[in-house]
Structure 1
């Protein structure tokens, strides 16, 4: 049964989709960056690149200083978005394929919804959880059909699980901050407060490791892309979407990320799309629509 969405919810759904569209490029671009850069450098450089845009933008908009009571949640958001996910996922990608990462990362929408329910004490209802769980199962199956069930070990899987928890937590924490400021200001402050750590760390790691890697133009492009899109611009839309649509339901849009990533991989890297992948993708879309149909039934 279709559920009518309010104007704010429709806007939130659109922004959440735009955020996921930007994030869908994260894994292939990170994989490109690792051709020429150390995984720790790619992680620390992301917020530095984002800050190059964030600081002038904040100055032009005359953004007020961050209130003292928001420093703690902003720091927690930065811990997950700036350091936790980028470092752990880059280390995992150095050990395995993006296809295998997507198998375990498929549980991220469900983990995000669980953390949101615990934090905000709102319960979407049984049908939401059934749809979300079924979508997660299909996501895993979808990823395995891409060859993601091999070429990894326990340490790699633990890195991915840690990255998923860090990312899910920063989504929930960052979305809560949008009740105090616009989403673009949230992510701007996140990258700015991380600079005292990220900037010297990036310089140190680069000095220690740059001799070990050969330069590739597409690797530099990948690094700049994850810094500008995945680390910054994508969060503009994503945090706005989670605020307006609700974190639990908005996070389910993220199930579409694997499909988009596959599309980018086929377009940019020449990967083949099989019938099984296409059928799994259709099932995932239906599960997302099912989960979103319960948006106005939250208790």
Structure 2
């Protein structure tokens, strides 16, 4: 995008709004779990968002190039089901604030996948900061689990898998955004994976889902409308207005948003250790991205 068409302050505002939306995903998952199964949360939120996506694409009269079908479908699997399903499974055994710190490595994982898929060759500093970030996350999850004992919870493995799924999907979507707007990419991703998500939603259906806790129903609605749909609109629009390198740094705040919302909405106890590791992980991501850009 030419510099004279950019609106950097608005880009930051939209990017921050997107980060706040994404930062609420893990706490919303915890609120939804008492009434809905983890895999049902993942498939139903994508199925509901797909209905909105179809409407947007029809109104905007958009068509998808056949050459992009495979890439869009793969990105959709990673982003509309892979990450939601894996992170929902994780929230059964770990706190949302804990998950926020582990997923704090997501921006650096995204950068690493970009390097692998695009053939870019960043310097040694990038890989050193990447390793440092991975070590910090490992140290954090080994230090103390939800039972107060050192060691991995099963949720930690789900979180790592969720981060890898999202990172891969983000890179594929980023490459597709060279040929179409970011909002259109997520809409097509939702539409192409809709048959799978509708089928899974029907297969996973239980009669008890007709009488959910009000808070759980609202949390599931948040997933569908915000985490799975509008969040990408704000985030992608912010990147377009302010530039990917500049606005992308806002994503470093996501871990702190998740930790803060976990304390406010879930009454989770946020220890000094959690805050320190969140800050350290964010620092390695920032330094790694800076090294990659250099």
With normalisation by structure 2, the TM-score equals 0.81
CA distance in 1, matches of 2:237, 2:144: 32
- Does structure 2 retain, via aligned residues, the 8 Å contact 1:178–1:239? no
- Does structure 1 retain, via aligned residues, the 8 Å contact 2:110–2:171? yes
CA distance in 2, matches of 1:52, 1:294: 41
Greater Cα shift, 53-62 or 252-261: 252-261
Secondary structure of residue in 2 paired with 1:88: helix
CA distance in 1, matches of 2:154, 2:197: 25
Counting only pairs closer than 5 Å after superposition, residues 1-299 of structure 1 correspond to structure 2 as: 16-63=15-62, 65-102=63-100, 104-135=102-133, 137-138=135-136, 155-206=154-205, 209-211=206-208, 215-239=212-236, 244-245=243-244, 253-294=250-291, 296-297=293-294
With over 3 angstroms needed to count, the CA separation of the structure-2 counterparts of 1:31 and 1:290, relative to structure 1, is same
- Does structure 2 retain, via aligned residues, the 8 Å contact 1:175–1:239? no
| Unmatched runs of 5 consecutive residues or more in structure 2 | none
Q: Output the aligned Cα RMSD.
A: 3.4
Secondary structure of residue in 2 paired with 1:107: helix
- Does structure 2 retain, via aligned residues, the 8 Å contact 1:113–1:251? no
With over 3 angstroms needed to count, the CA separation of the structure-2 counterparts of 1:291 and 1:152, relative to structure 1, is closer
With over 3 angstroms needed to count, the CA separation of the structure-2 counterparts of 1:69 and 1:94, relative to structure 1, is same
With over 3 angstroms needed to count, the CA separation of the structure-2 counterparts of 1:108 and 1:55, relative to structure 1, is same
With over 3 angstroms needed to count, the CA separation of the structure-2 counterparts of 1:156 and 1:273, relative to structure 1, is closer
| Unmatched runs of 5 consecutive residues or more in structure 1 | 1-5
- Does structure 2 retain, via aligned residues, the 8 Å contact 1:103–1:144? no
Greater Cα shift, 94-103 or 108-117: 94-103
Secondary structure of residue in 2 paired with 1:94: coil
- Give how far 1:202 is off: 1.0
The count of aligned residue pairs is: 287
Greater Cα shift, 156-165 or 113-122: 156-165
CA distance in 2, matches of 1:138, 1:241: 29
- Does structure 2 retain, via aligned residues, the 8 Å contact 1:96–1:156? yes
CA distance in 2, matches of 1:271, 1:97: 8
- Give how far 1:91 is off: 2.0
